[in-house]
Chain A
Amino acid sequence: MDWSAFSVSLRLAALTCLFLLPLGIWLGRLLATAQFRGKGLCEALIALPLVLPPTVLGFYLLQQFGRDAPLGGAWSALTGSGLNFTFSGILLASLIANLPFAIQPIQRAFEHVPANLREAAWCSGLSPWQTLWRIELPLVWPGILSAAALTFAHTLGEFGVILLVGGAIDGETRTLSIAIYDRVQAFDEQGAASMSALLLVISLATLGLVYGLAGKRRWARGQ
């Protein structure tokens, strides 16, 4: 068992969720409630990582992350280290690759909140912030939870993009799924098997937790 890869994977997944969920709530709500020019394009861009082969995404990121590219250059000027082959780099790649998983479930959930509930809250004297906290978020909670679960589980399983920009560096960019690949390459089937089982259990537990929690809401029954 490669515990350092396990730790990298968990940190990557947790940080991806931590950064993406607030963004998902903001963007998901915006896309569900607002009408603006270029909305279709915006939604298409968010969905792109779903259909784009990870290698294509990885290739572009690799190019953009290089020190000669604007993004990589700016990053290295700012932090002193490059983006390619670093944990920051795979985190950024993971944030981009997980955009659809974090935003779409939340957007769908917001779309199911009737507009007049928001208006009823305003008419009841609730400020837009109070409306968000007390009315909208409790109603879209299952969407947020499933976004978190999908993002977490998908990050644990992400392979192509991370391999391309991360370079599988032990303790830094070698995630559990890459470590499994490496173990297979090294003819260490035992190691690959135990890590695969761990990944399977974690993914199943994450999803099980989500569906279990989502079914517990008494007020949503019989609707």
Chain B
Amino acid sequence: MRALLLLCCWLLSAPVMAGAPIVAAASSLQFALEAAAAQFTQQTGHALRLNFGSSGNFRRQIAQGAPFELFLSADEGFVQALYDEGHVDNTGVMYARGRLAWVQPAGRYSLPDEQAPLAGVQEAIAALEEGQRLRIAIASPEHASYGMVAREVLQKAGLWESSEALRVQGENVSQAMQFALSGEARGGLVAYSLAVAPALVGRSEAVLIPEAWHTPLRQRMVLMPQAGEVAHEFYAWLQQTDAKEIFQTYGFSTD
């Protein structure tokens, strides 16, 4: 009987982590923000709940009333849109600039030169004519910021149409990274921040795409109207030196 009572209490209990603010963050921040949040928690004692996904997806969920308190987008367009629609009170601040990179599985293919970082794509297209299909991974150009710039880069290089049969799309840039490192892929155009993460550094090789080749990935964050004290504190903390150092470690520019 007592066990039954306990069971009922548990079933009806409030969620375990209720109270800790939910931070929605672009997938490119998967490792950087985990490290930043860990340090923040260590310094302040405040817990955070992190949700990673594509920026476009979070932008939609926020418009639908998702209970996030802070949104770290991979570009500023989504933040601007939320502001224009009245879902946020201001346009927030830019916290980092993201870099797109060509990433491929470690030690399998020759790494393209920094001057011609798209050589891998060209090789894969050439290989297709010989009947060998090596995939090129990108994030969804529909709603993921890194996907959008990847498309831009390929379009400018005149490789968009010819690479069509080879492209695989991740739902967000983390998944695109998974695809890029899978056995079927020649590589992918993904966030540099993922390639330099300690968890993956041994498994991947990366070469940066020049920033001039695409619209800058001005990563902007914004507080939601319902943001509480902790969220405000974290928002401020992310703009300080400790956070900037972490972002730089993960390949972001913060100048």
Contact = CB atoms under 8 A, between A and B. Distances in A.
Tell me if chains A and B make direct contact, with any CB pair below 8 A: yes
Interface of A: 4, 7-8, 11, 14-15, 18, 62, 66-67, 82, 84-87, 167-172, 182, 184-188
5 contacts: A84-B66, A168-B53, A169-B51, A169-B66, A185-B172
Interface string B10-35: 11000111101010000100110010
A53 to B, nearest CB: 16
Contact of A182 (B7, B16, B52, B65): B52
A67 B65 contact: yes
B240 interface: no
Contacts of A86: 67
Contacts of B15: 4, 8, 87, 171-172
Interface of B: 7, 10-11, 15-18, 20, 22, 27, 30-31, 34, 49-53, 61, 64-67, 172, 174-175, 177-178, 197, 199-200
A60 to B, nearest CB: 14
Main secondary structure of the interface of A (DSSP, over half): loop
A169 B49 contact: yes
Nearest to B203: A187
B181 to A, nearest CB: 9
Nearest to B7: A14
A40 B115 CA distance: 67
Given A66-B64, A82-B65, A182-B52, A171 B174 contact: no
Contacts of B27: 185
Contacts, number: 74
A171 B16 contact: yes
B30 A15 contact: no
Q: Is the interface of B mostly helix, strand, loop or mixed?
A: mixed
A170 B10 CA distance: 17
B143 to A, nearest CB: 14
A85 B11 contact: no
Nearest to A76: B65
A167 B51 contact: yes
B16 A4 contact: yes
Nearest to B19: A171
Most buried by B among A66, A82, A168, A187: A187
A185 B11 CA distance: 29
B104 to A, nearest CB: 16
Given A85-B65, A85-B66, A171 B18 contact: yes
Contact of B65 (A84, A169, A172, A187): A84
A86 B64 CA distance: 12
Given A85-B67, A171-B17, A172-B18, 11 more contacts: A18-B11, A66-B65, A85-B64, A167-B61, A169-B51, A170-B22, A185-B30, A185-B174, A186-B30, A187-B174, A187-B197
Nearest to A171: B17
Contacts of B175: 185
Contact of A84 (B16, B64, B178): B64
A62 B63 CA distance: 12
Contact of A186 (B7, B16, B65, B174): B174
B190 to A, nearest CB: 12
| 6 interchain residue pairs of minimum CB distance | A171-B17, A170-B49, A185-B174, A85-B66, A171-B15, A172-B15
A219 B66 CA distance: 54
A184 B178 contact: yes
A66 B177 CA distance: 33
A167 B61 CA distance: 7
Contacts of A66: 64-65
Contacts of B51: 167-170
Contact of A4 (B17, B178, B197): B17
B199 A187 contact: yes
A185 B52 CA distance: 9
Contacts of A167: 51, 61, 66
Nearest to A11: B11
B11 A170 contact: no
